[in-house]
Amino acid sequence: MLSLTPLEATIGPVSFCHWPVDRSGVAGAVPGWATVETADDTAWLTAVGYTVESIRALGRSIGGPTDVVTVQVPVRGPADQRGAYPLAVFLPRGRLSEALSLFSFPVEPASVEHSINRGCLRRTVTVADRQRLAVEHDADLDVASAAPPDSLAGFLADRERYFLDGPPGRVLVCSVGQPTWRLQSVAGTCREQLFSWLSLPAATGEPLVHASPGGTIALAPPVPTGLD
């Protein structure tokens, strides 16, 4: 979408945890210029977890491994563009958190960790000395292709465009991730207390869990909508 990519990262396996939620409840968490997008009249909240194995700024290495979890909601932007609105980005303080803050992402300092043991990947987010998210799922992936664009997995995960709150009266948009992810539905469990901590509505059903082997992602700088 955007040609300038000052930040490029290599990431390990990606965890996508999706919860169905009440549309009217989550609509209050997004700005008036965004419209919550639904699938079969159901709104969703997604926690995306991954490990940034290496990160480069304009081709120069600026950091090592960092675990990140982003909570986001599928939306349509001011001109009906499909994208996501990030509600919080949890990661430890460091160069990556500083860069994302400069790019207007809603950074929340946290202890974010992952481990792989006996074929099980586990991710946790701890905020204010309390564990707010624990995700476990199969780590052995055999993903051959991207999710079909008309599938629920593709609808929820393939959100390269991110909308951000800019200066008063301005909406920013940036490109982060990949246009399409190679996804696999995996057996897993997701225990969260992030939604209540972020004043978001409770889930109305069981979560869906997808995983991707990861790869290279790029983060283009935010620009005003209409220039992307």
**Domains recognised in the chain with CATH numbers:** 7-224 (2.40.400.10)
Q: 16 near 219, Cβ under 8 Å?
A: no
pLDDT of residue 144: 64
Gap between the Cα atoms of 154 and 14, Å rounded: 14
Q: How confident is the model at residue 75 (pLDDT cuts 50, 70, 90)?
A: very high
Gap between the Cα atoms of 128 and 120, Å rounded: 26
Gap between the Cα atoms of 220 and 228, Å rounded: 10
- Burial grade of 5 (CB within 10 A; 0-12, 13-18, 19 or more): middle
Q: How confident is the model at residue 150 (pLDDT cuts 50, 70, 90)?
A: confident
Q: How confident is the model at residue 158 (pLDDT cuts 50, 70, 90)?
A: very high
Q: Which residues contact 38 (CB under 8 A, 6 or more apart)?
A: 23, 44, 74
Tokens (6 digits) for 14: 């990606």
Q: How confident is the model at residue 1 (pLDDT cuts 50, 70, 90)?
A: very low
Task: Look at 6 and 1; give whichever has higher pLDDT.
Answer: 6
pLDDT of residue 5: 52
DSSP state, residue 144: -
Task: Report the share of the chain in percent with pLDDT over 70.
Answer: 94
Average pLDDT of the chain to the nearest whole number: 90
Gap between the Cα atoms of 87 and 105, Å rounded: 9
Q: For 212-224, how does the pLDDT look when each residue is reduced to its tens digit (9 = 90+)?
A: 998 888 777 788 8
pLDDT of residue 102: 85
205-211 average pLDDT score: 95
Task: Look at 144 and 213; give whichever has higher pLDDT.
Answer: 213
Task: Look at 150 and 145; give whichever has higher pLDDT.
Answer: 150
Q: What is the pTM of this model?
A: 0.91
66-70 average pLDDT score: 95
Tokens (6 digits) for 80: 């009906």
Residue 4 pLDDT more than 80?
no
170-197 average pLDDT score: 89
52-69 average pLDDT score: 82
Using left for φ > 0, alpha for ψ between -120 and 50, and beta otherwise, residue 47 falls in beta
172-189 average pLDDT score: 87
Q: For 115-135, how does the pLDDT look when each residue is reduced to its tens digit (9 = 90+)?
A: 999 999 999 999 999 999 999
Residue 202 pLDDT more than 70?
yes
pLDDT of residue 2: 43
